[in-house]
Amino acid sequence: MIDWLSLADPADGLSFQQDRRVKKANDAALSAYNKAMGTSDDNRALYQQYLDKMNSTYGDLAGKYADYLSNIENQKVYDPGQFSYSGDVDDFYSKAANQRIKQATDAITNSRANAGSMFSSDYLNELAAKQQALASEEWDKAYDRYMQDRGTSLNEFSTNANLGNQAYQNLMNKNTALLEQAQNAQDNVSNAYTNYLQNLANQNNTDAQNYANYVQTIAGNNLSKKGLLGRALG
């Protein structure tokens, strides 16, 4: 009868045990590596969600920066022009002025005629003085009306100029505020993209380190198997 136990090589049993230990250790290393890669995938998805959220929140507004800047650059400075007034004192003489002067001179003439001194120098002097006085009075009244009308026109011009300038300032303030909002949106998108790239770079480094650790662990396990088996056989 053959003694099978006497034919068995002790090294075979030891090698089998070492294979099991190494496989278990390698499986554990692989499991840990797979978990790390799963975490990496989750992190990358979160980074992408963050970037997409920032783009959806600020992207449209950031894209309007050039339009808002163009609005400011093309906004014409408000210019009310120079005040002008075409009126003249003669335009404000009363239509009844000549009639009043005629009535006054007629009264003098009739009075002098009744007194028999119509052709005296006093009559002519009185007549000229009355005409001059009335003409001066009518001119003063016309000038007052002229200045009043000119003042009204100037006030209207100033009011319109102020309204126009205020409208210009309001529009400029609005465009400036929109530009600042677009600039802030651009900054937010830019910062988000920078953070996204930095996070990806860090994750790539972590993934590379995890893979290196995994490879080193597998290599170490395999080397330890050979070392233990060699010492046992020796």
CA-nearest of 173, 182, 109, 94 to 139 is 94
Predicted local confidence at residue 154, as pLDDT? 95
Predicted local confidence at residue 5, as pLDDT? 44
Q: Is-contact 58 185, C-beta < 8 A?
A: yes
Helix (H, G, I), strand (E, B) or coil at 121: helix
Inter-axis angle of helices 10-63 and 121-233, nearest 10: 180
Predicted local confidence at residue 222, as pLDDT? 81
Give the pLDDT confidence of 119-152 residue by residue, as tens digits: 666 767 766 776 777 777 877 888 999 999 999 9
For the chain, the maximum distance between any two Cα atoms, rounded to a whole number of angstroms, is 191
Does the pTM surpass 0.85? The reply is: no
* Full pLDDT tens readout for the chain, 234 residues: 444 444 444 545 556 677 788 888 889 999 999 999 999 999 999 999 999 999 999 999 999 999 999 999 999 888 989 999 998 888 877 776 677 777 777 776 777 666 666 666 676 776 677 677 777 787 788 899 999 999 999 999 999 999 999 999 999 999 999 999 999 999 999 999 999 999 999 999 999 999 999 999 988 888 776 555 454 444
Q: Is residue 185 exposed (0-12), middle (13-18) or buried (19+ Cβ within 10 Å)?
A: buried
DSSP for 160-203, please give it: HHHHHHHHHHHHHHHHHHHHHHHHHHHHHHHHHHHHHHHHHHHH
Instruction: Give the tokens for residue 124.
Output: 């002519």
Predicted local confidence at residue 115, as pLDDT? 64
- The span from the CA of 61 to the CA of 55, in Å, is 10
